[in-house]
A and B are shown apart, each in its own frame.
Chain A
């Protein structure tokens, strides 16, 4: 570039590059005082047929139902029966008991990996409870609550986590990457946001067949940066697909805060605005708000009024997985000062306010569920744990690459079996 091509000399400062930085790092004293906490009855509930442009405010507000005194208020209150509320509480408590036990199993060397959803139980449990049983769920990796809310056998989850001989996925997938078609739970990929366009395709198929079932899909705020997310929203708006998009904004993507997905500039629900999709930003730690928003979006989808994007504003109380230490990148006390509390404590408080629950029953249920998990764990471990013995016949490695095994895989299978025989002897059998 020659001198004359340049802009005339000015007194503008030089350009500077912005690298997002979370406000608090280990050692800092975090303060969430600036996070807006709107009143529970402050947000009107529009009709499910409302045009997206007429409800943009909901992308920037926060739908809440439960106040911090355990009262359900406002137009969004789904008015669930005490029985239903107790079921919801039970599922969430079961998720937590399961998570604690499986996290510990990983620490005991019984499996390679685990991911808890502590603090985020409502975003999958309450959401699933608001769907019809036939609706198809396309989970990310932290939605074990879907399976639990659909009464999937715990032992099958554990068998998968242990890659043992009861694992119907034959040890092929990393722990927690379940697959449960009979429970409307799509195979977990392990790649991020790839399930987003797939859910749209499922929903398009359902619509084109004149079915009544809808699809619902989850991702984190971090993976909303993936191209697949935007591909999905484009297809969903183009074909008015009956799909619910859940963005679980738990503030953290491993060690990267939500700013690296654009969270410093706008809300994640506001992604819906540019696509002309209905968007709802909700308190993800409020199980009744999650239920109400999902019910609204499901009704909307089922009546051909199109897709909805729900941002669940929540907080990831623990590490991303068993492989990271969150105190290395954020203050340890952040989870405890999160202004929206804990979803289980809040639902418990609500039931107690209604005089439909008490501390004694709560404690009894906690112990009962822990025992259930513990007993099931023992049964599962009888079928083996990862790294202790071989649980799948070797040839299963080559099955299901294709429906029928082509010659080159048959040859490679023969080679591998010969290698194993050389190593273990001819009489070896899986344990």
Chain B
């Protein structure tokens, strides 16, 4: 933790921590602007920008037309001018109309212009299911982002990390897609949808410094040390995984990747070589998901240390269903089954 011990902390949920990161950066850097659908006066449909327009003014925090191509395209132009835009895409599911501006423009601008122009933009967007959002409010498109060369992909899993990573993303001189797991905005999710939601206030990571601090991009966090196997997860699935592992009583090492690109390969390699087994968990669809990349990397680098095939626990290759959401979600049963399989030999 890179906290200044002198700094006062406050109990925050993830939304409040994300809000605080933007607040701090709007204060520190007059080039930071926050924009998106409903983010201004109203403060965002998830309240991530609540109060920011009132505090920092309308030209710093403002609403945009419902036009993701425009939101990202305009942000690229603002970056070329010298601003540090932080556009919000209301749901990650809505990012596709802006994908060309992200893939062909934002991500390539530094390269194609040999750094004549850069794109210091952070696209914030809530992603993932578990909120009965149906197929257009639940998707996890992280592997689409990691497949773009020139974009960094960051996924926090708790309030403390969310603030520190978002500040680092905003300060980064390259485009960052900052995917916020919306299921855990208000509290870590156990994976048991029928149990009461535990608020962030009961979790250590809700103690968030009120001032500036950053968590370096590209560094994973070991959320549980163990010897039996390595579990690679991020976002909501970090908490689901931890719950199941502790329930069953397995001595798993759980690594929260935090940044998918650039990936913290050293932490992964060290852990898998120690445990000899690796389970990859994500909520996104399975085929060509980020888990495929992780499994390939692990077998390329740790093959002679492996005692069992790398396993994947993922969402199914279907659109995210509305009523059957919990049959889709990689919950306790799917994880427990995979754990049994990978540990049996």
Contacts and interface: CB of A to CB of B under 8 A. Distances in A.
A408 B118 CA distance: 21
Given A231-B67, A400-B110, A403-B173, A202 B105 contact: no
A402 B153 CA distance: 13
Contacts, number: 142
Contact of B80 (A186, A208, A227, A235): A186
B79 to A, nearest CB: 8
A198 B105 CA distance: 9
A234 B65 contact: yes
Contacts of B59: 208
B35 to A, nearest CB: 9
B73 A198 contact: yes
A201 B74 CA distance: 4
A425 interface: no
A202 B81 contact: yes
Interface string A137-150: 01000000000000
B309 interface: no
Contact of B105 (A136, A189, A234): A189
Interface string B307-318: 000000000000
A201 B77 contact: yes
Sorting the interface of chain B by its residue count into under 10, 10 to 19, 20 to 34 or 35 or more gives 35 or more
B322 to A, nearest CB: 28
B69 interface: yes
A153 B167 CA distance: 41
B166 interface: no
A402 B74 contact: no
A228 interface: yes
Interface stretch (A13-21, A67-75, A164-172, A352-360): A164-172
A209 B84 CA distance: 13
B118 A403 contact: yes
Nearest to A217: B77
Contacts of A408: 262-263, 265
A173 B104 CA distance: 13
A98 interface: no
Say which size band chain A's interface belongs to. 35 or more
B114 A181 contact: no
Interface string A395-410: 0000011110011100
A238 interface: yes
A177 interface: yes
A403 B152 CA distance: 11
A187 interface: yes
Contacts of B109: 187
Contact of B81 (A173, A194, A201): A201
B152 A187 contact: no
A122 B262 CA distance: 47
A172 B109 CA distance: 11
> Which of A136, A169, A196, A235 lies at the interface centre, i.e. has the most chain B CB atoms within 10 A of its CB?
A235
Contacts of B112: 169, 172-173, 177, 179, 187, 189
A232 B65 CA distance: 11
B78 A201 contact: yes
Contact of A172 (B74, B77, B111, B117): B111
Contact of B218 (A168, A186, A406): A406
Contacts of B1: none
Given A201-B75, A231-B70, A407-B265, A172 B101 contact: no
20 contacts: A168-B116, A172-B112, A172-B114, A179-B112, A179-B117, A187-B113, A191-B100, A194-B73, A194-B104, A198-B76, A198-B77, A201-B76, A201-B79, A205-B77, A208-B83, A227-B97, A228-B101, A231-B65, A235-B70, A401-B150
